[in-house]
Amino acid sequence: MLPISVFIIAKNEADRIAKTIKSVKSIANEIIVVDSYSSDETPLIAKNLGAKIIFNHWNGYGEQKIFAQNQCNNKWLLNLDADEELSAELAEEIKNIFSKSIAENIAGFYIKIVNKFRFETRPKKFAYYYNQFRLYNIDYAGFRDSTVHDSVILKNNDKQVLQLKNIVHHQSFRSFNHWIEKINSYSEMQALDAVKNNKKISGFKIFFTPFISFFKAFIVRRYFIYGLDGVIYSLLFAFSRFAKYIKIRELQKTKII
């Protein structure tokens, strides 16, 4: 195993946490699960698979990930969510990289996070992915302090971030009911964050956002490859953006915060 600490934030992920942990056991000599007081067996499953369990109340994505990375003992950190798993090919690629010395000017690596929808064992060919800075040296990079946004940023601009070839599988929702619950929860946090930062929202944006977002999902994110399901996914994606904006408007008009 490599001198890499993997950290995972979780709550009520008993049905998914095992896959995530098993996908990194061959590459990490430390696996930390920060649990937000799950009511299911998430902590027990993670502990039985060799992970270290630390409990911490939820204060937002960014803050929770900062807390989690601060619990790690290695300089090299890999962050995964509980709905993600390393592909076997990516695990081998990371092993090969760490079998040699890594140049001092390398702060870390971008990893492709590829959508895997329900009932798929592997992501579909040409599935949409987003590129994130997930494997990094804590001396040179770390999570920024944000309630909503959980992204790693460089501490020194003179360092390089390289691209890994292989992928992480990302299965974001268990069912359509779960997806809608996530939309409601996340759009609430986004709206609160936007209003606190004095973000303005126009009627024009509210009206046109669903149409633009559907096009973005169906064409740019290539959801058309899923047929009728792709139409459904695109409509839900559009609704998530619409929900955020109408919640921002509601908060601004009622002056709740």
Instruction: Pick 2-170's CATH classification: 3.90.550.10, 3.40.50.720, 2.10.109.10, 3.40.190.290.
Output: 3.90.550.10
- Stronger pLDDT, 98 or 255, i.e. the higher one: 98
pLDDT digits (tens, 9 = 90+) for 151-200: 899 998 889 999 999 999 998 888 899 899 999 998 998 899 888 888 88
Q: What is the pLDDT of residue 256?
A: 55
Name the β-bridge partners of 115. 170
Determine whether 94 is exposed, middle or buried from the number of CB atoms within 10 Å of its CB (0-12, 13-18, 19+). buried
Name the band, by pLDDT with cuts 50, 70 and 90, for residue 75. Answer: very high
Considering the chain, what percentage of its residues have pLDDT values greater than 70?
A: 97
Domain residue limits, the chain: 2-170, 176-254
Residue 7 near residue 34, CB atoms below 8 Å: yes
User: What tokens appear for 57 in the block?
Assistant: 């109340």
Going by C-alpha positions, the residue among 39, 31, 29, 41 that lies closest to residue 9 is: 31
Residue 222 near residue 128, CB atoms below 8 Å: yes
What three-state secondary structure class fits 140? Answer: coil
Name the β-bridge partners of 77. 5, 136
Name the band, by pLDDT with cuts 50, 70 and 90, for residue 242. Answer: very high
Q: What is the pLDDT of residue 247?
A: 95
